[in-house]
Amino acid sequence: MTKSKPSVLILGGNFAGLGAAQKIRDYVKDKVDITVVDRKAYLDYIPNIPLEIFEGRDPAVTMHMELVSTLARDYVTFRQAEIMSIDLENRTVEVQPNERAGSPSYKISYDYLVVAVGAELALRDIEGFAEHGHTVTDAFHANKLIDYLNNDYKGGPIAVGSARFKQGTRGRPDWLPTAAAACEGPPVEVSLALAHWLQENNKGGPENITMFTPGKLIAEDAGEKVVGQLLEAASSMGFKYINQVEDIQRLTAEGIEFANGQKLETELNIVFPNWKPHAFLQGLPISDEVGFVVTDMRMRNPDYPEVFACGDAAALTVPKLGAIGHQEAEIVARQIAKEVGMMEAEKADAPWMPEVVCIGDMGGGKAFYIHATSWFGGDIQELRMGHLPYAQKLAYKEMFFRNHGRVPNWGLPLAKWSAENIKV
Ligand SMILES: Cc1cc2nc3c(=O)[nH]c(=O)nc-3n(C[C@H](O)[C@H](O)[C@H](O)COP(=O)(O)OP(=O)(O)OC[C@H]3O[C@@H](n4cnc5c(N)ncnc54)[C@H](O)[C@@H]3O)c2cc1C
């Protein structure tokens, strides 16, 4: 059978994969066939999981958005399967359908490949995590933490922080710094919101919590000015803070041990792991030495120009933030539009600087809002705290679900403008 249209195969259907599918359809209209492969048939709205935990809701109920009908609205085909391997020379991907156990694997061919599979959150690499650790990265662990807080926590010391991020170097541009942790907005958010929860439940407050970071500065991608303000606010509330712990060595019944030799006696450890590339990407010629996909600023692999990456799977995405993946999905779509003659090169190739945009819950109907480009060489470092960012965090999720993942073009700029200009 001869193919009438070029085929775009998108691996992964969460923020980056869904965003890429929708934007490609917007720009390319019906000039390509688009297929998304994911092992699960829903989008997991990860950024609001911590908020759901401290407001006592199960994120599996509130944070999953149906993916198959969402994609069908844009005539995008969905295939539920485990992605097994990529054959770059023959332009095929091996997948194994996973709705029922026991399926053989199949090959899907592509003209353009978009790798948007995120990364493994390597909790099992942290010694003692299963027995002595908690996290907030998915619904299973969220519910485990909710149960622990409600039934077992006795009011003792708590450590919140990240393991070391192992970032690759091959193909990395000079301007992109080395990050000690993959994504440190969430540990700051969890510390603040948890302190409020402890107060509300008569189990203590900020003084129970030590925030730690493997690096010199927690959330360093937000910029020194912003982090300075955040830390000042946190220390005046009573939080403890330790830096340069290098890595989490192990979790034990007594507490947490760090790679620099420091130890803390704790009752509860809430930790964020290394973001580790999926095994099937490791060792491929498109990947750096750890397994993230190397791209130029047009999110295109230099050696295999028909291969694109966006979101956490891309080596360029540091910190690992959904907001950056969203920006990259737009770039991928423009490049594919250029390829098929649907966009002028001047528009498709417009220069781009990534932006950190992060809204974190603080409990009590308040949130912090960070907008920064200093990590990438820019000069923006904005921090706001209060009720407005909290309302925006909820409104953004509402808008995302109601619009089936399509955040209107004015959504992000409006959120930035209102957070930076309106005081509530
Ligand atoms: C607790 C927490 C809070 C966060 N808060 C924020 C925030 O406030 N703002 C922000 O911008 N970012 C935040 N982030 C980061 C954000 O969640 C990620 O950057 C974002 O999810 C990355 O999107 P992605 O689509 O690239 O990857 P993912 O969301 O990881 O999606 C990858 C997709 O690929 C699929 N997949 C992977 N491997 C396979 C395989 N082998 N076969 C089939 N399917 C596969 C997965 O099922 C998944 O659907 C937070 C992260 C955490 C953990």
Would you say residue 419 has pLDDT above 80?
no
DSSP 241-270: EE----SEEEE-SSEEEETTS-EEE-SEEE
- Which pair of structure tokens corresponds to residue 186? 């969430």
Q: What pTM was computed for the model?
A: 0.96
d(CA 131, CA 158): 16
The token pair at 143 is 């519910």
pLDDT at 411 over 90: no
Mean pLDDT of 62-71: 97
Give the confidence band of 342 by pLDDT, cuts at 50, 70, 90: very high
Tell me the Cα Rg of the chain. Answer: 21
Q: Residue 2 has what pLDDT?
A: 61
Average pLDDT over residues 21-47: 98
Same domain (yes/no): 53, 65:
yes
Nearest C-alpha neighbor of 16 from the set 120, 115, 139, 137: 115
Q: 136 lies in a domain?
A: yes
Residue 407: per-residue pLDDT: 83
Tell me if 130 is assigned to some domain.
yes
Residue 2 within any structural domain of the chain: no
pLDDT 10s digits, 25-34 = 999 999 999 9
CB 18 within 8 A of CB 43: yes
Q: How far is the CA of 116 from the centre of ligand 1 (A)?
A: 9
Q: Residue 315's pLDDT band (boundaries 50, 70, 90)?
A: very high
In angstroms, how far is CA 86 from the centroid of its own chain? 23
Boundary-marking domain end, from 348, 367, 387: 348
The residue from 348, 379, 410 where one domain ends is 348
Give CA–CA dist 387/84, Å, rounded.
45
Strand locations in 53-132, DSSP E?
Answer: 64-66, 77-87, 92-97, 106-109, 112-115, 120-121
Q: Is 7 left (phi over 0), alpha (psi -120 to 50) or beta?
A: beta
Do 48 and 63 fall into the same domain? yes
Residues 131 and 269 in one domain: yes
Question: For 114-159, what is each residue's pLDDT tens digit?
Answer: 999 999 999 999 999 999 999 999 999 999 999 999 999 999 999 9
The residues with which 179 forms a beta bridge, in sequence order, are none
Half-sphere exposure of 170 (CA within 13 A, CB side): 16
- 65 and 83 both lie in a single domain: yes
Distance CA 319, CA 375 (A): 9
List the domain range (segments joined by +) for residue 336: 7-119+277-348
> What does the alpha-carbon distance between residue 221 and residue 319 come to, in Å, rounded to a whole number?
7
CATH of the domain at 212: 3.50.50.60
Distance CA 179, CA 254 (A): 29
Residue at 49 is within a domain? yes
Is residue 1 domain-resident?
Answer: no
Residue 325 within any structural domain of the chain: yes
- The DSSP call for residue 219 is T
Angstrom distance (rounded) from CA 423 to CA 388: 7
Q: Which protein residue's CA is at the shortest distance from atom 41 of ligand 1?
A: 83
Q: Report the distance separating Cα 384 and Cα 393, nearest Å.
A: 13
Task: Looking at the structure, tell me whether residues 281 and 269 fall in a common domain.
Answer: no
Checking if the pLDDT of 424 tops 60, the result is: no
Ligand 1 atom nearest residue 360's Cα: 8
Same domain (yes/no): 255, 134: yes
How many angstroms separate the alpha carbon of residue 11 from the centre of ligand 1? 13
Q: How far is the CA of 157 from the centre of ligand 1 (A)?
A: 30
pLDDT in tens, 176-206: 999 999 999 999 999 999 999 999 999 999 9
Same-domain status, 319 and 236: no
Contact of 191 with 160, CB cutoff 8 Å: yes
pLDDT of residue 409: 62
Angle between helices 15-28 and 322-339 (to 10 degrees): 30
pLDDT per residue as tens digits for the range 217-234: 999 999 999 999 999 999
Claim to verify: residue 129 and residue 266 sit in the same structural domain:
yes
Asked whether residue 262 falls in the same domain as residue 281, the answer is no
Same domain, 241 and 336: no
Q: How confident is the model at residue 423 (pLDDT cuts 50, 70, 90)?
A: low
| DSSP bridge partners of 109 | 92
| 298 and 384 housed in the same domain | no
Do the beta carbons of residue 357 and residue 407 sit within 8 Å? no
Q: Mean pLDDT over residues 265-270, rounded?
A: 98
Please tell me the distance from the alpha carbon of residue 77 to that of residue 207, in angstroms, as a whole number: 51
Same domain, residue pair 114 and 152: no
pLDDT(248) > 80: yes
What does the pLDDT look like over 364-395, one tens digit per residue?
999 999 999 999 999 999 999 999 999 999 99
Cβ atoms of 67 and 52 closer than 8 Å: no
Please check the confidence at residue 1 and state whether its pLDDT lies above 60: no
Domain assignment present for 417: yes
Say how many domains are in the chain: 3
Pocket, ligand 1, Cβ cutoff 6 A:
12-17, 38-40, 46-47, 49-50, 82-83, 116-118, 136-137, 183, 185-186, 278, 311-313, 320-323, 325, 358-359
pLDDT tens figures, 81-113: 999 999 999 999 999 999 999 999 999 999 999
Whether 171 is in a domain gets the answer yes
Last residue of a domain, one of 320, 348, 376: 348
Q: Specify the pLDDT at position 4.
A: 83
Helix (H, G, I), strand (E, B) or coil at 42: strand
Neighbours of 422 (CB within 10 A): 10
